Amino acid sequence: MKIHSFLHASILVEDLGQARAFYEGVLGLKPNSARPDMSFKGVWYDLGNQQIHLLCLPNPEKGLTRPDHGGRDRHVALGIDSLDELAERLDLAVIPYTRSQSGRAALFCRDSDDNALEFVEIPTVEP
């Protein structure tokens, strides 16, 4: 057996409206309405050949103290083309973030449910 690909990451959210405001309004992701309905509310976002699936379900870890820096917590890492643009969007939305402590071109923030996300700058090469 060989694991050959990563398909999606599921992220628990309790308020789907707030979560969508972050993932769509701040990050600019577009929902994939072609996904099947589940027995709970949620939304899928395509990221190339992979996806993020927001699951609107009770958080079994609600109230758990999370580290201030998302890099010291479980997180999903996403490649982006401009950290500066993301930082501007986060500043406008008054969402705190931290830069990578290793000096890499990366930053960490949390969504409205305290899920940590890492964004790594990977410049795109224009043909």
CB 107 within 8 A of CB 98: yes
Angle subtended at Cα 83 by Cα 11 and Cα 10, rounded to the nearest 5 degrees: 10
CA–CA distances in Å: residue 37 to residues 33, 34, 43: 9, 9, 9
CA–CA distances in Å: residue 20 to residues 7, 67, 106: 21, 24, 23
Write down the pLDDT at residue 38: 82
Q: How confident is the model at residue 126 (pLDDT cuts 50, 70, 90)?
A: low
CA 125, distance to chain mean position in Å, is: 23
- Whether the pLDDT of residue 11 is over 80: the answer is yes
pLDDT in tens, 67-98: 888 888 999 999 999 999 999 999 999 999 99
Report the mean per-residue pLDDT for the chain: 92
All domains of the chain in start order, with CATH: 8-58+66-121 (3.10.180.10)
Does the predicted TM-score (pTM) go above 0.75?
A: yes
